[in-house]
Each structure stands twice: as C-alpha cells, then as structure tokens.
Amino acid sequence: MPENICSWCKKKIPEDFEIFGLGVKFKEGIDMRDKEGKIIPLTLAVTNKTVSAMVTTGNSEAKQDGKDLMFMTCSKRCVKALKHALEKEKEMFGGNIIWCYKG
C-alpha cells in the first residue's frame, strides 16, 4: 500500500491523521482513462511546483461528482495553498488550465 503524501508540502500523512481533499475537473477534451486510479505528477506553471494527484476512476464517487483529479493534503493550510495556486494557474491561462503531465 502506497504511503499517503501531501500533494502540496510533500510530508507523509500518518494513517490515523485527517486527510483534506480537493477535486478538480479536466479541461474538455482531455482523456486520461489510461491513468485512472493512478497517482500522477502535475507541474503548476505559476509556482513551478510539481504536485501529485490521483486520476479518478469511472465508477468512483468523486468521478460521479464531476471530479477528474483528486489532490490529497495534510492540512487546511495546505489545501488552501494548493487551491490558491490552482486558481492562479487558471487566471494565468484565461480559464484554460494547462498542466504539464510528466509521465
């Protein structure tokens, strides 16, 4: 079983620790079905920071709620920082978020 690592600060999240999640939707036309259920690295251009996210599976509750990617963080502070970075990314690209997928 893989370790739980915070997408933002990269600290290990202990098993008995609360996890904070953040879900996002892909831009229309992006097909990541071959990566479903896998953790992938994404580079945010604004911060030049690489974060990890899990590609949701077709039958998951997150996918049914419209989320294509789920980020796992260790605290409200990290989820807030990640959300802020994603919003800045969206602003920078005029609503068209562009992520560099390294994989």
Q: Which domain holds residue 95?
A: 20-101
Domain count, the chain: 1
Query: Cα separation of 64 and 14, whole Å?
Result: 28
Query: Cα separation of 96 and 94, whole Å?
Result: 6
Query: Does residue 9 form part of some domain?
Result: no
Q: What is the pTM of this model?
A: 0.83
Instruction: Count the Cβ atoms, other than its own, within 10 Å of residue 13.
Output: 19
Is residue 35 exposed (0-12), middle (13-18) or buried (19+ Cβ within 10 Å)? middle
pLDDT in the model for residue 95: 61
pLDDT in tens, 64-99: 988 889 999 999 999 999 999 988 887 777 665 545
Phi-psi sector, 48: left (phi>0), alpha (psi -120 to 50), beta: left
Query: Does residue 92 form part of some domain?
Result: yes
Query: Does residue 28 form part of some domain?
Result: yes
Query: Does residue 69 form part of some domain?
Result: yes
